[in-house]
Structure 1
């Protein structure tokens, strides 16, 4: 891979994984618009490891408390501290895990077109704007019920369709349930951890089975850059989201979707 390809793709993954604008769409579009060859499965795994590293590092204290309290709740059969949130993350991951197993091949072969990305980018962008406008924004992530969590989890399953945006659709669902913007974002970021682990694990298995010699330079640089970009993105997003709202991302999605329709159709 060219060094500029490595840098640009790693930054795209790091910056878009946690913004409500769809990282998968941007990674699909980058080779189409630039003329580069597909970056390959090994590089995709590497940049996902980078974003996973970033979100775990950013929430390390909360994740430590969630893990400890979750184990305590299993032992005592009562909720302790952060255990309710830990159970919520696990429950919210089930729908996307099942849908990924059932529909992964169909999505990978049939739904990676610019038209699908354009439609989902526009459609779910409008839905994000509506949820941000109509949302009560009075709750935090600790108030979510099991039914609320399943609603967010089912919404997350839609993110398997390129252009939807996993973070975007889960934040949309959270806002629809009355979460504040930063609470919706925090829960979305926590939900990303098992999803990235599951998807990265599946891609790693395929990579091992393919027995392809990796480009270690590309993998190391890609992992490091995506991790740094993702960590900075999480920090800035949570710092400013309550003040700026979701509308900059809604406008971006609308412009991107319309541009794709013009360029490709």
Structure 2
């Protein structure tokens, strides 16, 4: 099965639009270094509530690292003026871990496990923040996990072991686990990695439906044209710094992209949607 289900009611996976307070993600002065090398250099980034924001940039620009720092997986560098990461008016990094796990979900690239987990068991891990430490899976937990699998088109794989899946299938299982977490803020690192074209488009439509129901979505994307077709807002990184941020029509233009990617960009208009379609040729 290659298509992601986009005909599900988003509220079935915990995204009731009238219960999401605040104005989205707002981070400032985010820096991170390793072995004396500065990977993120004072990054400011916003992701509006109820929108799909694309985090763009060449390989090595800091996209994955930024997502991990924003999600609290890695601590930002200290300094005279520390980093600020707020969501819906709250200090996101200052929240207790379980509380933060109820607010945000992070889908990373190529997550592997040696444990003999079934697909359903892997998705049920997303329910852990919502139950007491000693409680098992409830009927409600299993229903939410099933709906999440249906949303990503993986319900037929519920009893398969995760280790037996293809890369694209595993990617969709990770997305289902994040949906089962019922986040208000969803961060994804290359969510279309390993997916074929139809599944890429369907995955982005799932994110658009979630955003329409009030979830704040921030996704690192490699494909600029896919970002132009599906994102409301984009942030462009280069060398660990923000080069530009804003509407796709303002950021995804030759004057901005050519110096960052070292190419010549032509921007066309999609004949049906009017959104930008990007083509690239080598410089010189």
TM-score of the two chains, using structure 1 as the length reference: 0.28
Identify the structure with the greater helix proportion.
1
Question: Which structure exhibits the higher relative contact order, with contacts defined as CA atoms closer than 8 Å and separated by 6 or more residues?
Answer: 1
Identify the structure with the greater strand proportion.
2
TM-score of the two chains, using structure 2 as the length reference: 0.26
